[in-house]
Amino acid sequence: MSKKLYLDNAATTRVKREVLDEMRQYFDELYGNPSSQLYELGRKSKQAIEKARKTLADFINADEKEIYFTAGGTESDNWALKGVAFANFNKGKNHIITTKIEHHAILHTCEYLEKFGVETTYLDVDRYGLVDLEQLKESIRPETMLISVMYANNEIGTIQPIEEIGKIAKEHGILFHVDAVQAFGSIRIDVNKLNIDLMSMSAHKLGGPKGIGGMYIRKGTRIDNFIHGGGQERGRRAGTEGVQNIVGFGKAVEIASRNLDERAERLTALRNRLVEGIKNNIPDVVLNGHPTRRLPNNVNFSFKYVEGESILLLLDMEGISASSGSACTSGSLDPSHVLLATGLDHGTAHGSIRFTLSEEITEEDIDYTVETMKNIIAKLRAMSPIKNDEDLKKN
């Protein structure tokens, strides 16, 4: 096993060389606290943060004053939901609309907010993972304060009709939050065109460092602070800034914005090659997610009659890193809530594998992956007591 193929770029990405180079001096040379504006070292740190902020703002057509740095996509999601819910605490508005296929950062936050009287409607999705705009409209109540829908799903890659949802939210005067953690960096996002009020971003999904995220908050949005303390981030998000991480985030976004379209095109071609390769070489598979409205780098298949973890372990032995369901839930015994929401039965859901590509991947890598999968699935199916869909649906 000499080959090493990392196909789990939705879980996290390798930090790009240019990103690390940019970060380097912020560890032991320009290490000042950005709040210390009265000496050079502090001012340099502050400038570095503001440069990164501008990069993010430009990338999504926002104003710099609308960008805040957080510790990651999860914190941003928490801030959006809790911030809006608590701003409306005891004020009569207590209803959130979201979907059944959100990341746990959204779903578990909604669950938690129940104890503060918040009610949540979880929209269904169709077999491709798309929400139904009619159901969304019907779910709106006078108490609805927030609609939160992810831009693209982390497991199946399905891209939601964000612009249409933004229109509906605006028409009803409801705030619109978008978890764009997976889409950010691979899809061009214009927060104004899409009527987005709040948006979550994370650096480690696009070649930036782990533990740093971003939050877009449209000017004038009524939202409580989430982390209280010092005056950082214009008094909206306290805590000494992870300057080196912010610098890395900015650089990663700069790189992503440079050749976004060509990259998306190239990845889409590779993605389609992998989809076709698997479909044509392995029987009894189901493509999860939408055939075309999906992230350029996402492939997700269910392989009937076998179980995901075994596939992953065998892939690992062949040097291929992939995932089964979302990274956060691997190790859990439950099949992915996303796949179940698309109507997959449990048995089939258990046999699902996600491959998420990066720029570093070649056509040869794709072909190697198809070949490897063919052997693995054959081996495991030979071992399986389930031989057909009837077996699968038992229980």
Partner 1 sequence: MYSEIVMDHFRNPRNVGRIENADGVGQVGNPKCGDIMKIYLKINKDEIIEDVKFETFGCGSAIASSSIATEMIKGKSIHEAVGLSNKAVVEALGGLPPVKIHCSVLAEQAVKSALYDYAQKNNKVIKGLENYKPEDDEIHCQH
Ligand X SMILES: Cc1ncc(COP(=O)(O)O)c(C=O)c1O
- Choose between 208 and 277: whose C-beta lies nearer to ligand X: 208
Contact present, 139 and 132 (Cβ < 8 Å) = no
Question: Is 328 an annotated catalytic residue?
Answer: yes
Interactions with a copy of itself, residue window 141-200 (CB under 8 A)? none
Contact present, 382 and 305 (Cβ < 8 Å) = no
Interactions with a copy of itself, residue window 63-92 (CB under 8 A)? 70-75, 77-78, 86, 89
Instruction: Name the residue among 246, 260, 247, 249 with its Cα closest to residue 185.
Output: 260
Which span (157-165, 234-242, 253-261, 274-282) binds a copy of itself, by CB under 8 A?
Answer: 234-242
Structure tokens at 388: 């057909």
- Determine the Cα–Cα distance for residues 327 and 319; give it in Å rounded to an integer: 18
- Choose between 27 and 89: whose C-beta lies nearer to ligand X: 27
Total Cβ atoms within 10 A of residue 31: 14
Instruction: Name the residue among 304, 279, 266, 299 with its Cα closest to residue 381.
Output: 304
Residue 43 lies near partner 1 (rule: CB under 8 A): yes
**Residue 154 touches which of ligand X, a copy of itself, partner 1, none (CB < 5 to 8 A by kind)?**
ligand X
For residue 359, the minimal CB distance to ligand X (Å) is 19
- Determine the Cα–Cα distance for residues 60 and 54; give it in Å rounded to an integer: 10
**Residue 6 touches which of ligand X, partner 1, a copy of itself, none (CB < 5 to 8 A by kind)?**
a copy of itself
- Choose between 38 and 90: whose C-beta lies nearer to partner 1: 38
Residues within the interface to ligand X (CB under 6 A): 72-74, 77, 103, 105, 150, 154, 179, 181-182, 202, 204, 213, 239-240
Q: Active site residue: 87, 328, 380, 386, which one?
A: 328
Instruction: Name the residue among 332, 286, 317 with its Cα closest to residue 379.
Output: 317
**Residue 63 touches which of partner 1, a copy of itself, ligand X, none (CB < 5 to 8 A by kind)?**
none
- Determine the Cα–Cα distance for residues 272 and 232; give it in Å rounded to an integer: 45
Residue 335 lies near a copy of itself (rule: CB under 8 A): no
Interactions with partner 1, residue window 294-353 (CB under 8 A)? 305-310, 313, 317, 331-335, 345-347, 350
| SS3 call for 239 | coil
**Residue 16 touches which of a copy of itself, ligand X, partner 1, none (CB < 5 to 8 A by kind)?**
a copy of itself
For residue 100, the minimal CB distance to partner 1 (Å) is 14
Interactions with a copy of itself, residue window 299-318 (CB under 8 A)? 309, 312-313, 315-316
Total Cβ atoms within 10 A of residue 316: 12
- Determine the Cα–Cα distance for residues 161 and 75; give it in Å rounded to an integer: 24
Amino acid letter at 339?
L
- Choose between 99 and 244: whose C-beta lies nearer to a copy of itself: 244
Contact present, 341 and 246 (Cβ < 8 Å) = no
**Residue 1 touches which of a copy of itself, partner 1, ligand X, none (CB < 5 to 8 A by kind)?**
none
- Determine the Cα–Cα distance for residues 288 and 385; give it in Å rounded to an integer: 24
Q: How far is CA 95 from the centre of its chain?
A: 24
- The residue whose Cβ lies closest to ligand X is 73
**Residue 182 touches which of ligand X, partner 1, a copy of itself, none (CB < 5 to 8 A by kind)?**
ligand X
Alpha helices in the chain (DSSP H): 17-28, 40-59, 73-87, 104-113, 133-139, 162-171, 232-235, 243-258, 260-281, 308-317, 337-341, 346-350, 363-383, 389-393
Lay out the site mask for a copy of itself across 200-219 (x = CB under 8 A, - = otherwise): --x-x----xxxx-------
- Binding region for partner 1 (CB under 8 A): 37-38, 43, 305-310, 313, 317, 331-335, 345-347, 350, 382-386, 391-395
Catalytic residues: 328
